[in-house]
Amino acid sequence: MTALPPTGLSVSPRELLERVATQLSAVVLGKTQQVKLAVTCIAARGHLLLEDVPGVGKTTLAEGLARAFSLSYARIQFTADLLPSDILGAQIFHQARGSFEFRPGPLFHHVVLADELNRAPPRTQSALLEAMGQGQVSLDGVTHPLPRPFVVVATQNPVDLSGTYPLPDSQLDRFLVRLSLGHLSPELEAELVQSRRTDPIATMKAAATGHELEALQAAADQVRVDPEIAQYAVRLAGATRNHAEIERGASTRAVLALVAAARAHALWDARDFVTPGDVRALLTPALAHRMMLKSALQGTFSRDEAGLLLEEIAKKTPAPR
């Protein structure tokens, strides 16, 4: 195992990741793997999509991420009548000065929860594209930079629920990782019902600072990807493009996202290089939401099906030693 280079952190990247995950796991019970992947996504400078039915802890995870890293936080409730200006902000005429001034919207925070993103119409959804892709907002010919780090954590209800609009491919492609929390086990659910009397987020303590998160992201950027690993990721993506059950496979941007997430995942093992195991660990979270299956054309598509196909591809694709 190779030691990581100096990062400017007072602890190792691995220790920081574990400290954050421990704090989050105390409020998001029974979801250790999902918490680890969510923190990995943030360390890779990515945006996170949480897709599940209401009431399983998606909002708790989003706010917990902000508190764990001591970041400013805003929640935007997406509804059918929400306008782009309600998110981005607007130019307001200042009567005393006789001029317009920009009044930032709730998007100008470090962590933004786009709650029930697919309840808003496509025009409002698309207002996030520039912000998520470039970390800025352009209004009336003026570009306004967003705070750094900047993370969008979006929640999405299953598309079969009433009042939802499917997210366009361009919007889905902006999310590095897609996760589903699922229901708790009966034992943990009973424990939660018995013990919880107050909002756990209200008493949650920060595990890191925004500066430490930026140092963590810089450490992930330095993780080495050997040519054989890059070729392995490309082979996996190529297999999705030639699969009989997949209408549209992973794009080049999707491969870049997969490798970026794998870099951050390597930090959990205190490595400065990516292994095939890192790539496989992020294969479904990073690619499943970016693919279109032929079953989708018949109205029977599910993310679970996409995940199963990716597992099948991973088993058939030889990994480098």
Residue 220: per-residue pLDDT: 96
Radius of gyration of the chain (CA): 20
Residue 204 has pLDDT above 90, yes or no: no
In this predicted structure, the answer to whether residue 98 has a pLDDT above a threshold of 80 is no
Give the residue-averaged pLDDT of 156-185.
Answer: 77
Q: Given a cut of 60, is residue 100 above it in pLDDT?
A: yes
Torsion of CA 290, 296, 302, 306, to 10 degrees: -50
Q: Which one is predicted more confidently, 270 or 198?
A: 270
1-222 classified as CATH 2.40.50.100:
no
Structure confidence at residue 300 (pLDDT): 47
Q: For the chain, which residues make up each domain, given as ranges?
A: 1-222, 223-321
Q: How confident is the model at residue 5 (pLDDT cuts 50, 70, 90)?
A: very low
CATH C-level class of 223-321: mainly alpha
DSSP string, 140-191: TTEEEEPPSS-EEEEEE--TTSTT--PPPHHHHTT-SEEE---PPPHHHHHH
Distance between start and end Cα atoms, the chain? 15
Could you tell me the two tokens for 301?
């598509």
Provide the 8-state DSSP code for 69. Answer: T
pTM over 0.85: yes
Q: Do domains 1-222 and 223-321 have the same CATH topology?
A: no
238 compared with 162, residue with greater pLDDT: 238
What pLDDT shows up at residue 106? 94
With a cut of 70, say whether residue 273 has pLDDT above it: yes
